[in-house]
Structure 1
Amino acid sequence: MLILVTGGAGFIGSHIVSSLMSAGHTVRVLDAVLPAAHRSAPSLPPGAEWRHADVRDAQAVADALRGVDAVCHQAAMVGLGKDFADAPDYVSCNDLGTAVLLAGMAAAGVRRLGLAGSMVVYGEGRYTCPAHGPVRPGPRRVADLDAGRFEPPCPHCGEPLAAGLVDEEAPVDPRNVYATTKLAQEHLAAAWARATGGRVAVLRYHNVYGPGMPRDTPYAGVASLFRSALERGEAPRVFEDGGQRRDFVHVRDVASANLVALDAVDGLPEGTLRAYNVGSGEPHTVGEMAAALAGAYGGPPPVVTGEYRLGDVRHITASADRLRAELGWKPQVAFAEGMAEFAGAPLRDG
């Protein structure tokens, strides 16, 4: 197949391009190379067709879609940004860009789409109260965070909760601008599928890390921030008490998930969208990740600061059972192995 990968010059996108080409697909890359995510010229595998253009440019998208069999849509502005002033850029890049792409696909008759989703659409993860069963805590209060009370309490009785795995049927509850735009991308893709008879596989990534991760920027992931600090000879600064639980999934596993999703998307009913969590199934706390990375790098141990970011959630870990059962995918890179590799891998300037 000829597959268009938007955002294919980015951290995750470039790994997807390599996986697709290794599997025998022809790949065309469209990427705007936005300064917030790229500080240097992109480097693509030999044989990948390059289009330097913005996904919001309807003519460039139309040109890039000629002859394409499927689209793998990775282009997005990622992370929490610096403040709410970033909101128009997030909405423009993520939602307007997706709308322009989908309109172009509708016109070109391209009916297969793999969409980069995110765990952030869920908000907080799954929690159970001993007295009230499964509950959904509201956003954490500033007063509690200031006092170092980081665990969300039961909304009914205020007692501590047990965190569990989130599956794809969990209610969505985006709690920051980025999360809202990622959910809007899914809604736009679902509307496109219904209108055109298209098929969409959404891969909701959990915390992706690995070789080629960009250096620390306001939009970088926590693993990149910690790795960049170690490279400077500084201790990783762990927010809250370090007990936030996440699912750290290696970028090669994310790339392989995209490969199997694009191969299987034809098996979905016409006009439907199907969401899949992409997680390692091996949750760890942020503090554990920082310690493992610092140990593997040989740098100073992490420092727990008690700082917090509004909009962050406490625990969000994935059940990837649907992706395993329906598409036969399973992660290959274990946590310790991945962190050791990441500690020794060079970061990219963008």
Structure 2
Amino acid sequence: MLILVTGGAGFVGSHIVTALMGAGHGVRVLDALLPAAHRTAPAVPDGVDWRHADVRDREAVADALRGVDAVCHQAAMVGLGKDVADAPDYVGCNDLGTAVLLAGMAEAGVRRLVLASSMVIYGEGRYECSRHGVVRPGPRRVADLEAGGFEPPCPHCGESLAAGLVGEDCPADPRNVYAATKLAQEHLAAAWARATGGRVAALRYHNVYGPGMPRDTPYAGVASLFRSALARGEAPRVFEDGGQRRDFVHVRDVAGANLAALRGMDGLPEGGLRAYNVGSGEPHTVGEMAAALAEAYGGPTSVVTGEYRLGDVRHITASSQRLRDELGWRPQVAFAEGMTAFAAAPLRVG
């Protein structure tokens, strides 16, 4: 198959390109090389049909879709950014860009889409109260955060909650601009599928890390920020008390999930979207990740600062059982192995 990878020069996209080529697919890349993610021109693998253009450019998208069998849509602004002033850029890149791509796919008759979604659409993870069962806590209060009260309480009785795994059918509750744009991408893709008879696999990535992460940018993930600090000889700064729980999944496993979705596309519902969590199955706290990375790098030791960011959530870990059962995907990189390798891996400066 000929696969169009939007954002194929980025961190995740470039690994997907490599995996697709290794599986024998033809690959075409469309990437705007936005300055927030790229400071220098990327190295393009031999055999890739490269297009330097923005996914919001209708003519460029129409040209890139000619002869394509499926699309892996990775192009997006990621992370929390700096503040709410970034909102127009997030909505433009993520939602308008997706709308332009979907319109082009409808016109070109391309009916297979693998969409890079995110676990951030869930907001807080799954919580259970001993008195009230499964509950969804509201946004954490500034006064509580200032006082070091980072755990969300039961919204009914205020008691402590036990965090659990989120399934794909849990309700969405995006709590920042980026999360809202990722959920909107899913809704747009679902509408496109219903209108065209297309098939969509929405892969909700958890915290992706690995070689080639961008260095020193507010739009990078926490693993990149910690690794960048170590490269500067600085201690990774862990916010809150370090007890936030996440699922850190290696970028090679994310690329493998994209391959699995493409292989299983015929089994997806025609005219519908099927969501899949993509995680390692090994939840760890942010503090544990920072400590493991610092130890593998050789120091400095991470420090817990007590700082917080509004819009961050406390615990978000999810089951990837659906992806395993339906598409046969299995993560290959364990946490300890991945952190050791990541500590020695180069980051992408541009």
Q: TM class by shorter-chain length?
A: over 0.9
Alignment partner, residue 259 of structure 2: 259
Alignment partner, residue 6 of structure 2: 6
Looking at structure 1, the residues matched to 164 and 269 of structure 2 have their Cα atoms a distance apart, in angstroms, of 31
Alignment partner, residue 306 of structure 2: 306
Alignment partner, residue 98 of structure 1: 98
Matched residue of 1:128: which SS?
A: strand
Alignment partner, residue 228 of structure 1: 228
- Deviations 1:88-136 (Å, cap 9, x if unpaired)? 0000000000000000000000000000000000000000111111100
Counterpart code for 2:173: D
Looking at structure 2, the residues matched to 46 and 243 of structure 1 have their Cα atoms a distance apart, in angstroms, of 44
Alignment partner, residue 48 of structure 1: 48
Alignment partner, residue 22 of structure 1: 22
Looking at structure 2, the residues matched to 311 and 110 of structure 1 have their Cα atoms a distance apart, in angstroms, of 36
2:171 pairs with 1:171 = yes
Deviation of 1:269 (Å):
2.1
Counterpart code for 1:345: A
Alignment partner, residue 132 of structure 2: 132
Deviation of 1:44 (Å):
2.4
Q: How does 1:140-151 map to 2 (within 5 A)?
A: 140-151=140-151
Looking at structure 1, the residues matched to 216 and 319 of structure 2 have their Cα atoms a distance apart, in angstroms, of 29
Q: How does 1:105-254 map to 2 (within 5 A)?
A: 105-254=105-254
Counterpart code for 1:199: R
2:277 pairs with 1:277 = yes
Larger deviation: 40-49 or 199-208?
40-49
Matched residue of 2:115: which SS?
A: strand
Q: How does 1:331-342 map to 2 (within 5 A)?
A: 331-342=331-342
Looking at structure 2, the residues matched to 290 and 82 of structure 1 have their Cα atoms a distance apart, in angstroms, of 22
Matched residue of 1:13: which SS?
A: helix
Looking at structure 2, the residues matched to 42 and 103 of structure 1 have their Cα atoms a distance apart, in angstroms, of 28
Counterpart code for 2:51: R
Deviation of 1:263 (Å):
1.3
Counterpart code for 1:240: E
Alignment partner, residue 83 of structure 2: 83
Looking at structure 2, the residues matched to 190 and 91 of structure 1 have their Cα atoms a distance apart, in angstroms, of 18
Deviation of 1:218 (Å):
1.1
Gaps of 5+ in 2: none
Alignment partner, residue 347 of structure 1: 347
Matched residue of 2:46: which SS?
A: coil
Counterpart code for 1:57: D
Looking at structure 1, the residues matched to 202 and 249 of structure 2 have their Cα atoms a distance apart, in angstroms, of 16
Deviation of 1:39 (Å):
1.1
Looking at structure 1, the residues matched to 260 and 241 of structure 2 have their Cα atoms a distance apart, in angstroms, of 37
Looking at structure 2, the residues matched to 249 and 63 of structure 1 have their Cα atoms a distance apart, in angstroms, of 34
Deviation of 1:146 (Å):
0.4
Name the TM-score, length of structure 1 as normaliser. 0.99
Deviation of 1:285 (Å):
0.1
Matched residue of 1:165: which SS?
A: strand
Deviation of 1:168 (Å):
0.1
- Deviations 1:192-244 (Å, cap 9, x if unpaired)? 00000000000000000000111020101000000010011110000000000
Counterpart code for 1:330: R
Percent identity over the alignment is 85
Deviation of 1:318 (Å):
1.2
Matched residue of 1:55: which SS?
A: coil
Segments of 4+ in structure 1 off by > 2 A?
Answer: none
Counterpart code for 1:178: Y
Matched residue of 1:72: which SS?
A: strand
Alignment partner, residue 297 of structure 1: 297
Count of aligned positions = 350
Matched residue of 2:35: which SS?
A: coil
Counterpart code for 2:49: E
- Deviations 1:262-283 (Å, cap 9, x if unpaired)? 1111211210100000000000
- Deviations 1:313-342 (Å, cap 9, x if unpaired)? 000001000000000101000000000000
Matched residue of 2:127: which SS?
A: strand
Looking at structure 1, the residues matched to 72 and 233 of structure 2 have their Cα atoms a distance apart, in angstroms, of 38
Looking at structure 2, the residues matched to 219 and 131 of structure 1 have their Cα atoms a distance apart, in angstroms, of 39
- Deviations 1:9-33 (Å, cap 9, x if unpaired)? 0000000000000000000000000
- Deviations 1:47-80 (Å, cap 9, x if unpaired)? 1110000000000000000000000000000110
Larger deviation: 39-48 or 316-325?
39-48
Name the TM-score, length of structure 2 as normaliser. 0.99
Deviation of 1:177 (Å):
0.3
Counterpart code for 1:322: R
Matched residue of 1:181: which SS?
A: helix
Looking at structure 2, the residues matched to 222 and 180 of structure 1 have their Cα atoms a distance apart, in angstroms, of 20
Q: What is the root-mean-square deviation in Å for CA atoms of aligned residues?
A: 0.5
Looking at structure 2, the residues matched to 180 and 68 of structure 1 have their Cα atoms a distance apart, in angstroms, of 29
Matched residue of 1:315: which SS?
A: coil
Looking at structure 2, the residues matched to 200 and 286 of structure 1 have their Cα atoms a distance apart, in angstroms, of 32
Matched residue of 1:54: which SS?
A: coil
